[in-house]
Homo-oligomer: A and B are copies of this chain.
């Protein structure tokens, strides 16, 4: 590979001049400028990003750390980030953590030695990102956190409006006539799971519906968790007529569990998902879901990073993206004979804290 020295020789100018025309760092007179440009062309020269970075103390790479590219929600996020990064001359280093915070730490530490221009992170479970990001911040490297936030995060962030999305979804279920609503949330230590569950609870509260403790299940964000917890819910008396799943993967598991239990969706039980993955459209029945744009999550994060790189010193931004409700065939009115089903007191809420099983 030709280097700058070669170009200088070919063009018959000095090294400095070549650098100047390449970076516009000094007005080089036209004839010389042309000679240099021509030499660059002829040699197919491309500057070494490595040397440049070493010298400038900054690469044009953006580190992107996510739990698992194999999870169907994340590719769109990555793609969004890559698109705006690429069109601004930045590249993405992709790292998977598998939600393991020690693996996240390894990536965080190593990435630093590449002097990335910035970092976009979907924190792992129990992420220590807040502490780690501090050292990046000190080095002037922006870190934006997306989708969910680690403990005490105060830096830039982009998330969906999980609370409101869930709230509106549940409201629509209530308007269909449901009164026995259960939830299978994701891990509640994750802010997105927690916020969605909060929206669920708010909708119930406003409708003066009581939430029995057994009606609130928590699991991991995957199909299997959804399947298992749905089995539990279906066994309860009275059986819930609608289940709010913490994400579409959980909803998928719920769909399978309902089918395996010999029940019908939505005639017996309605299912509401969250994320609106591509697959929501192709399941049987198709899945009603709260739609959020992973792509936009990615683009927004990259955008913030680029702004920071261009000198934006404003205080931390907390972007919250709108969601929208996609009603499909997994939700419908509750079964007619709902009030004849065996009674359990789920309405009175004079005693807010009912005694529950010891654990």
Chain A residues near B (Cβ < 8 Å): 1, 46-51, 53-54, 59, 61, 68-70, 72, 74-76, 78-79, 82-83, 86, 91-96, 109-110, 112-115, 139, 252, 255, 278-279, 281-286, 328, 355, 359
Contacts and interface: CB of A to CB of B under 8 A. Distances in A.
A69 B46 contact: no
Given A94-B94, A110-B91, A139 B1 contact: yes
Contacts of A82: 69, 94-96
A282 B284 contact: yes
A72 B72 contact: yes
Nearest to A48: B113
A325 B53 CA distance: 49
B281 A284 contact: no
Nearest to A95: B91
30 contacts: A1-B113, A46-B109, A46-B112, A48-B54, A48-B115, A49-B114, A50-B53, A50-B54, A50-B114, A51-B54, A54-B54, A61-B93, A68-B79, A69-B69, A69-B78, A69-B82, A72-B72, A72-B75, A79-B96, A82-B94, A82-B96, A91-B110, A92-B94, A92-B95, A255-B282, A279-B279, A282-B282, A282-B284, A283-B284, A284-B284
Given A47-B113, A69-B78, A283-B283, 16 more contacts: A46-B113, A50-B114, A51-B54, A69-B75, A69-B82, A72-B75, A74-B75, A79-B96, A83-B96, A93-B93, A278-B359, A279-B279, A279-B282, A281-B355, A282-B284, A286-B355
A2 to B, nearest CB: 11
A50 B61 contact: no
Given A50-B50, A70-B76, A112 B281 contact: no
A46 to B, nearest CB: 5
Given A48-B113, A50-B113, A112-B1, A79 B75 contact: no
Contacts of A76: 70
B286 A283 contact: no
Contacts of A110: 46, 49, 91
A281 B282 CA distance: 10
Contacts of A48: 54, 113, 115
Nearest to A287: B282
| The 5 nearest A-B residue pairs measured at CB | A284-B284, A94-B94, A49-B113, A69-B75, A70-B79
A68 B96 CA distance: 17
A109 B86 CA distance: 14
A23 B79 CA distance: 37
